[in-house]
Amino acid sequence: MYLKRLKDLREDHDLSQEMVAKILKITRPQYSLYETGKRDIPVDLLRILAKLYNTSIDYIVGDTDISKRYSESK
């Protein structure tokens, strides 16, 4: 499920795989492996993606259907 969400989030933000790969400081083929499910996404990259898309890691990985990011405690 999260594979579709990962692609949908990227496309909803009008980003290419190349652009997201640059943000994550990885290669496009490496990012493609994450998006196609051929490789698990490391937590540190999930954190970056959640911030980029203003959502939660839980939403990206399919643990919730609530796309809104958790409020940060002060």
For 6-35, write each residue's pLDDT tens digit: 999 999 999 999 999 999 999 999 999 999
Domain extent for 23: 2-61
Residue 37 has pLDDT above 80, yes or no: yes
Residue 42 pLDDT? 95
In a domain, 67, yes or no: no
Residue 74 pLDDT? 45
pTM to 2 decimals? 0.86
In a domain, 23, yes or no: yes
Q: What is the total count of domains within the chain?
A: 1
- Percent of the chain exceeding pLDDT 90 equals 73
In a domain, 70, yes or no: no
Residue 2 pLDDT? 63
* Rounded alpha-carbon distances, angstroms, from residue 60 to 18, 48, 57: 19, 11, 5
Identify the CATH number of the domain in which residue 44 sits: 1.10.260.40
Contacts of 50 (CB under 8 A, 6+ apart): 56, 57, 59, 60, 69
